[in-house]
Structure 1
């Protein structure tokens, strides 16, 4: 089925649909680095299709530059990625570009989730003060215009759980208005909060998903969520998720697997090109951070969480001891990760590795595994950008199940 991918980000939602054989006609994304990641993944699928993944491996291993790598890829694959911010001014340009790519093809589905910061409960008082001028609040209306223009059989709209309680400038809940907007375009719609943890992803992550299906197809949107329930499964622990990765210190880069055999979930879903592990990059940390990390991991291993105000005075850097006291947090190796968010691009204090001896925050690749990106998925262009793309993504393994469920009901 032919898909238009809006607000693509680094490609978590996209990748699950690609794995299920959907044809992504185009991606629309405003972040340049994320666009580069999408182009690189398009290149991967092209090379996989012609059995030349050795070229891709050569790029990941640093043997050729990005420019040299892209010379092996036909332009019609790279040009699928449209680097635009979706806005009223840009909408005609975006649709013109999409129409060139789509030509006479039928569009079967539209997927994507607008930036979620406006709806998030975190920072809501600050966002409320700029609500009248914040265009992110009404990005769903542009999404609706794509539904009207291309009339797909179905759509998936993803966002944060905070949308349930968010109120617009009229002090009315916005979600019912979004649902009404989509219904007015001829769709039967339903929403659910999905927790990735229940679907085999090693992460506690709740997100709101709206599924819409054309009224004329005679299928209730609720039927999609009922079918999705059949794909629930237990999640592996962080210890199992990281088991085959190398032991390393803060500031190191080790792009080689350990000799330990991966668990079945990792072997079946994450390990791909066996000769190249990429972007297993650990942040460098100063002495103070590493001292704090040791205390946090020690506390975690003894069954408690150490708060900022409990740290020795010599390790504190500011006087705020009333708010955000859990700013240093360790992963529990015997459980799944807490929600991975884009703030990991700022620092790794909230995602400290559970192994006391390694004394560091998690690597780019470890973060990507928590989001169930395959090990051969490459994020352009810097460590900081990679963390941001990963933190904002839909877990790939969940997206795969969503795509499979849509296949089943259609």
Structure 2
């Protein structure tokens, strides 16, 4: 079994790929309290599933048991793997001390995770130019390196936005080149491979391009990750949503409809006897709903709404810079990238069925990100959307975990 440290965990999308008998997740480190509770809940789910007490988790999903009561029903050590702290110069010693206690002398085989990506994003880059001198997020990767230097794992997996490839630091130099150099010149030194992946090529129903760096300790036998990834046809949104109920804006409908789920949903997302949760849609004002209907009808014709083409009575912003402010998801294709902004509004994620006339629900967003239906997000609707938008799609993460597990002899021999 390979021991893993999970940094900048979020709700645990990447973590899902390493939740198997081949791995032991020693610690998750996450600054957001709602995401940390989601990680605790997921730890509990896997523990109860393994011990044959899954009915306790189902009671929680049916709202017959509170989160506090559920936590009391399991060993306290189980959820102590979650360290709810922001990683920084002040907190680093205490975080590492807690990890040392959890390790109890055991070796760390791998470190996974990636620091918050907003600082590197191409969206709003010009606006954020003046903040480079004070934006600490830019250099959070250095703390990642601190963990590598201390624990000297056999491998690491680092994820971030593709904007990192073109991002320039305060000295107007490409930061990515410096990151690669830092990874390769530390002690121990790592052989680092990187690749820009589109999750849609690997069975995820959205166009989502993200940068992945995979490093393994110099001196080990060659470890391959990207070379073993298997392409897979992603399902259409129509297939993905087939068994979900028809609802209107502002409604909640936590039940499946009578249609049989698609093969993809049956195989990867839906479990028998698990209730539907988080199928909650946002309420919207009448103006937005008129726009949503126009956007969805255009999408059905293969067209995308351009904001300046809306009737003047429906516009609230100057058209310049807002040409694709409202965008429906295609029924017979894959979604555009789901990002954390969905926590603020659903204008860019309008449901393709104009009759429903709404943005997508939390559960629909989770499915687009390939979170299984038994995955419950803690706290508010806004928290849930944020956790989903920031995550690595679990379907892709599972491929990473499986490929690394197949080569685990290279780590433990």
TM-score by length of 2: 0.96
Deviation at 1:408, TM superposition (A): 2.4
Q: Secondary structure at the match of 2:170?
A: coil
Query: How many angstroms apart in 1 are the aligned matches of 2:138 and 2:286?
Result: 42
- Partner of 1:160 in structure 2? 161
Deviations 1:321-380 (A, max 9, x none): 111210100000100001000000001110001011111110000000001001010101
State the secondary structure of the residue aligned to 2:295: helix
Aligned counterpart, 1:183: 184
**Match for residue 213 of structure 2 among 210, 215, 225:** 210
Q: Aligned partners of 1:275, 1:176: CA distance in 2, in Å?
A: 46
Q: Post-superposition shift, 1:303? A: 2.3
1:58-111 superposed Cα distances (whole Å, 9 cap, x missing partner): 111111111111111211111110011000111101100111111111111000
CA shift, 1:56, in A, is 0.5
Deviations 1:380-409 (A, max 9, x none): 100000000000000000000011111223
Name the residue aligned to 2:356: 358
**Aligned-residue RMSD, C-alpha:** 1.1
Aligned twin of 1:140: 141
Counterpart of 1:174 in structure 2 is 175
CA distance in 2, matches of 1:21, 1:369: 25
1:31 equivalenced with 2:32 (yes/no):
yes
- Displacement after TM superposition at 1:19 (Å): 4.4
Do the aligned partners of 1:20 and 1:404 also contact (CA within 8 Å) in 2? no
What is the count of residue pairs matched by the alignment?
405
Structure 2 residue aligned with 1:379:
377
Give distance in 2, aligned partners of 1:333 and 1:323: 26
Match of 2:400 among 391, 397, 402: 402
| Residues 224 and 409, structure 1, Cα contact 8 Å, conserved in 2 | no
CA contact (8 A) 2:328 2:350 kept: yes
Does the C-alpha gap of structure 1 residues 19 and 200 become closer, same or farther in structure 2, counting only changes over 3 Å?
farther
Output aligned runs, 1:9-408, within 5 Å.
9-19=10-20, 21-185=22-186, 186-219=189-222, 223-228=224-229, 231-318=230-317, 320-408=318-406
Relative distance call for 1:270 and 1:43 in structure 2 (3 A) is same
Check the 8 A contact 2:254/2:278 in 1, yes or no.
Answer: yes
Larger mean CA deviation between 265-274 and 5-14 belongs to 265-274
Deviation at 1:41, TM superposition (A): 0.5
CA distance in 2, matches of 1:329, 1:98: 44
| Aligned equivalents of 2:400, 2:154: Cα separation in 1 | 15
**2-structure distance, mates of 1:110, 1:36:** 21
Instruction: Quote the Cα distance in structure 1 between the aligned partners of 2:23 and 2:365.
Output: 26
For the Cα contact (< 8 Å) 2:299–2:328, is it kept in 1?
Answer: yes
Q: Distance in 1 between matches of 2:131 and 2:216?
A: 34
SS in 2 for 1:118: helix
* C-alpha separation in 1, matches of 2:353 and 2:281: 14
Is the 2:300–2:331 Cα contact (8 Å) retained in structure 1? no
Structure 2 Cα separation of the partners of residues 375 and 312 of structure 1: 39
Q: Indicate the SS of the match to 2:334.
A: coil
Q: Aligned-pair distance for 1:249? A: 1.1
Describe the SS at the equivalent of 2:373.
coil
- Give how far 1:126 is off: 2.2
